Amino acid sequence: MGPDTQPDAGPAVPAVPPIPRRRFLRWLLGFSILSTLAMVAAPVGAFLVPPKSSAAGSGGKVLAGTLADIPLGRGKVVAMGGKPAIVINTAQGVVAYSAICTHLGCIVAFDDLSGTIACPCHDGRFSPANGTVVSGPPPTALPPVTVSVEDDQIYLVSA
């Protein structure tokens, strides 16, 4: 061995072809663009095609309680498809109305003492018999909600 010879490097390792830098950057750019488009398209698609609601959104029934929960002469506010409704057990039967006051949108409640539907914000009063305004500033009656009583179960039915 002379001074110009190199030491033996051992067995030869097969060379793995490297990924060209330009091809990798193109792939990375394409992935970034697709990810960005997906992040924009998903919420837009969800907005344009809303999911079907299983609650009382269209033609559904919501269990409001039982006749034992709402005895004669009493009322109760329940959720109906994300909106409040007031259910009242009157001598003429079980009735229900939207519980959103027609004045400025406060939630009404049944007043056991006066036997009326009362709004706590400006003391608006509604008749439990038909939802019409008895006194106070509300301009119109409470919108009615269809009620179905099956056995002792009280259901609110949306149109």
Residue 51 CA to residue 49 CA, distance in Å, equals: 7
CB of 80 to ligand FES, least distance (A): 19
The site that binds ligand FES (CB under 6 A) totals a number of residues, namely: 11
Nearest to 117 by CA among 88, 148, 157, 146: 88
CB of 34 to ligand FES, least distance (A): 51
Nearer to ligand FES by Cβ, of 87 and 142: the residue is 142
Counting Cβ atoms within 10 Å, is residue 24 exposed (0-12), middle (13-18) or buried (19+)? exposed
Is residue 66 a contact partner of residue 153, using CB atoms and an 8 Å limit? Answer: yes
* Distinct helix (H) and strand (E) counts, the chain: 1, 10
CB of 137 to ligand FES, least distance (A): 5
Nearer to ligand FES by Cβ, of 60 and 137: the residue is 137
CB of 111 to ligand FES, least distance (A): 13
| Position among 65, 81, 115, 137 found at the interface with ligand FES (CB under 6 A) | 137
Query: Of the ranges 12-20, 64-72, 130-138, 139-147, which one interacts with ligand FES (CB under 6 A)?
Result: 130-138
Ranges within 66-125 binding ligand FES (CB under 6 A): 101, 103-104, 106, 119, 121-122, 124
CB of 105 to ligand FES, least distance (A): 6
Residue 54's contacts (CB-CB under 8 Å, 6 or more residues apart) are 60
Residue 26 CA to residue 148 CA, distance in Å, equals: 63
Is residue 114 a contact partner of residue 80, using CB atoms and an 8 Å limit? Answer: no
Site residues (vs ligand FES, CB under 6 A): 101, 103-104, 106, 119, 121-122, 124, 136-138
